[in-house]
């Protein structure tokens, strides 16, 4: 069982609070403590800072240090700003490790976010920088009750509507609990005064009838949908939904694992996304810091001494003659998966921390279709369908509803072994397999498919993985050593946070790092 499947199971069975605590114990999430831009008061005395990496952490640091009066320069491996904050659009070309090159053929205005694609409401830092940079955002639909949950081992492999499975599951569980309550078997846990309220709440939450039964009728149909919806005129009378799914069938299907997917705090409404793609934030940072960022700089060596830091880099496209640049301090936001391969002269404990953190295997596949059949045929507007197929999930666009023409789905979002298996394939084969699997959920796939792209993150040259995957044991042994200031060198990024895998981790890590660095500079 994957960690993601485990968390979905915990959420479905025990609720969002328990799921959140489980994620935190795995080092997957922590509440953002962002409370505004850092207050870097005091004279930096002309100090210079060299920042390695123009991802979110590097650019947050560059922007704030520049505003505080530091001399700042940023070296970036790519020819664009943003790092994993990235949108692939028609005309883009991407080459992964191994040399496979993809030419995106999406229509104008369509895109896929191979990296982050959501801005949770409680990620105050990244939302604040989007606002400050003038990046427009729009709602992201995480939970759509009309989307699908799917298991190849249940219901003959036919996808089920999310609302039907959730309603039936909650209805049956509420009926069971109401029976136990009425039989007096909760007397030690529930007072007589609370028993009536409990029964009333179960009736309302479970869509039970007045006898506390989950049965076909108005209450259940209002939740799971009608067999024939109410209308107007002589044929207006509705027909209640009669095909309720039995509890045993739901439990055996495993589909209950998916119905808690939207309960964690990050996924509760409202969630946002930038208009036109997540890469709009990186692009806005790039414009704001245009005079500070040098592109196509592959760092190969970082050495510090008593007077400063010297960084050696080459052109990543040519690996030509090495060049050096110096500064008083160096803030490194390069992912640890890459940084562990760079020549550093830092203390052994920090080096051990850099070497210790593995990176997640993940892949996203974007599929363009000739028409928006999920809207036109199945009335799915945004949200996510979940499946036990290797593709994991299907994400529907949250923009341009009802528009004619083509559309792009997130045709697969995979972690772990499935991501490794897919990334071992050539990109065109990954796309082909995603279409084959997706056709088990949407029969229109083969006829409507147009073109696609597939990004496997452990083949991305500048990250070699999706994000740092800490464990409690690794954090106890290495986290503080990683985040310290080693003379004139320090790190920042989602890997140096308790919010790994999220841009908010990069923002809060950068602010913490430069605040501590500033304190060191003004007190030197």
Structure tokens at 501: 């895998």
* CA–CA gap between residue 511 and residue 517 (Å, rounded): 10
* CA–CA gap between residue 196 and residue 202 (Å, rounded): 10
By CB neighbour count within 10 A (0-12 exposed, 13-18 middle, 19+ buried), where does 114 fall?
buried
* CA–CA gap between residue 444 and residue 456 (Å, rounded): 26
Residues with Cβ within 8 Å of 377's Cβ and at least 6 positions away in sequence, in order, are 444
Q: Are 323 and 312 in contact (CB under 8 A)?
A: yes
Q: Are 432 and 70 in contact (CB under 8 A)?
A: no
* CA–CA gap between residue 298 and residue 308 (Å, rounded): 20
The reply to whether the predicted model has a pTM over 0.95 is: no
* CA–CA gap between residue 225 and residue 214 (Å, rounded): 14
What is the phi/psi pair of residue 313, to 5°?
-140, 165
Structure tokens at 106: 């999406």
511 three-state secondary structure: helix
Beta strands in 383-470 (DSSP E): 384-387, 393-395, 407-415, 449-456
* CA–CA gap between residue 165 and residue 171 (Å, rounded): 10
The residue assigned the tokens 């105050």 is 124
- Chain-centre distance for alpha carbon 50: 29
First to last CA, the chain: 52
Bridge partners, residue 94, by sequence: 102
Residues with Cβ within 8 Å of 380's Cβ and at least 6 positions away in sequence, in order, are 144, 146, 147, 148, 374, 396
Residue 22: its pLDDT value, please? 45
* CA–CA gap between residue 309 and residue 7 (Å, rounded): 43
Q: Are 505 and 499 in contact (CB under 8 A)?
A: yes
Angle between helix 3-14 and 16-25 (nearest 10) = 150
Structure tokens at 120: 């949770």
- The CATH 1.20.1440.240 portion of the chain extends over 162-253
15 three-state secondary structure: coil
Give 107's DSSP letter.
Answer: P
* CA–CA gap between residue 302 and residue 345 (Å, rounded): 7
* CATH 1.20.120.140 is right for the domain spanning 31-81+279-358+470-522: no
- The CATH 3.90.660.10 portion of the chain extends over 88-146+268-274+360-459
CATH of domain 88-146+268-274+360-459: 3.90.660.10
What is the phi/psi pair of residue 41, to 5°?
-80, 150
Residuewise pLDDT in 10s, the chain (524 residues): 455 555 444 444 433 333 444 454 444 455 577 888 899 999 999 999 999 999 999 999 999 999 999 999 999 999 999 999 999 999 999 999 999 999 999 999 999 999 999 999 999 999 999 999 999 999 999 999 999 999 999 999 999 999 999 999 999 999 999 998 888 877 777 787 788 898 999 999 999 999 999 999 999 999 999 999 999 998 999 999 988 999 999 999 999 988 877 777 777 778 999 999 999 999 999 999 999 999 999 999 999 999 999 999 999 888 788 999 999 999 999 999 999 999 999 999 999 999 999 999 999 999 999 999 999 999 999 999 999 999 999 999 999 999 999 999 999 999 999 999 999 999 999 999 999 999 999 999 999 999 999 999 999 999 999 999 999 999 999 999 999 999 999 999 999 999 999 999 999 999 999 999 999 999 98
Give 134's DSSP letter.
Answer: T
Return the CATH number of 162-253, one of 1.20.1290.10, 1.20.1440.240, 2.40.170.20, 3.20.20.140: 1.20.1440.240
Count Cβ neighbours within 10 Å for each residue of 189-198 and write b for 16 or more, e otherwise. ebeeeeeeeb
Structure tokens at 427: 């990109």
Compute how many other C-beta atoms are within 10 angstroms of the C-beta atom of residue 38. Answer: 19
């Amino acid at each position: 069982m994957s960690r993601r499947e485990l968390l979905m199971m915990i959420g479905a069975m025990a609720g969002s609070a328990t799921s959140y605590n489980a994620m935190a114990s795995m080092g997957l999430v922590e509440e953002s403590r962002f409370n505004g831009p850092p207050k870097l008061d005091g004279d930096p005395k002309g100090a210079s800072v060299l920042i390695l990496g123009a991802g979110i952490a590097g650019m947050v640091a560059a922007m704030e240090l520049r505003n505080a009066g530091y001399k700042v320069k940023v070296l970036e491996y790519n020819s664009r700003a943003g790092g994993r904050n990235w949108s692939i659009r028609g005309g883009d070309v991407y080459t992964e490790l191994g040399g496979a090159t993809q030419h995106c053929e999406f229509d104008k205005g369509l895109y896929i976010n191979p990296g982050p694609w959501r801005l949770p409401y409680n990620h105050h830092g990244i939302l604040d920088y989007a606002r400050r940079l003038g990046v427009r955002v729009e709602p992201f639909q995480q939970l759509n009750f009309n989307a699908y949950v799917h298991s190849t081992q249940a219901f003959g492999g036919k996808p089920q509507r999310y609302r039907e499975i959730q309603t039936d599951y909650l209805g049956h569980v509420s009926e069971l609990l109401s029976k136990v309550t009425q039989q007096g078997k909760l007397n030690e846990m529930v007072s007589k005064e609370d028993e009536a309220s409990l029964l009333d709440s179960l009736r309302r939450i479970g869509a039970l009838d007045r006898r506390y039964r989950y049965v076909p009728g108005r209450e259940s149909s209002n939740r799971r949908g009608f067999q024939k919806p109410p209308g107007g005129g002589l044929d207006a009378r509705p027909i209640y939904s009669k095909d309720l799914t039995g509890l045993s069938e739901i439990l055996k299907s495993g589909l209950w694992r998916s119905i808690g997917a939207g309960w964690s705090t990050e996924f509760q409404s409202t969630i946002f996304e930038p208009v036109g793609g997540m890469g709009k934030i990186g692009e806005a940072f790039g414009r704001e810091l245009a005079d500070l960022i040098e592109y196509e700089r592959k760092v190969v060596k970082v050495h510090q001494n008593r007077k400063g830091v010297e960084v050696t880099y080459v052109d990543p496209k040519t690996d030509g003659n090495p060049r050096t640049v110096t500064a008083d301090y160096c803030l490194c936001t390069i992912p640890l998966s890459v940084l562990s391969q760079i020549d550093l002269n830092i203390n052994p404990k920090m080096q051990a921390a850099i070497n210790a953190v593995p990176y997640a295997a993940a892949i996203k596949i974007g599929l363009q279709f000739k028409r928006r059949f999920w809207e036109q045929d199945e009335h799915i507007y945004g949200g996510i369908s979940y499946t036990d197929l290797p593709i994991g999930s299907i994400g529907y666009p949250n923009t341009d509803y009802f528009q004619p023409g083509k559309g792009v789905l997130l045709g697969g979002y995979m972690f772990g072994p499935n991501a490794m298996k897919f990334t071992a394939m050539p990109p065109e084969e990954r796309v082909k397999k995603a279409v084959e699997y997706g056709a088990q959920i949407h029969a229109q796939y083969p006829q409507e498919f147009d073109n696609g792209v597939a990004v496997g993150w452990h083949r991305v040259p500048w990250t070699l993985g999706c994000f740092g995957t800490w464990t409690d044991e690794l954090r106890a042994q290495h986290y503080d050593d990683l985040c310290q200031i080693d003379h004139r060198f320090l790190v920042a990024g989602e890997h140096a946070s308790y919010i790994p895998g999220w841009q908010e981790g990069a923002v809060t890590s950068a602010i913490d790092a430069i605040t501590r660095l500033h304190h060191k500079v003004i007190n030197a």
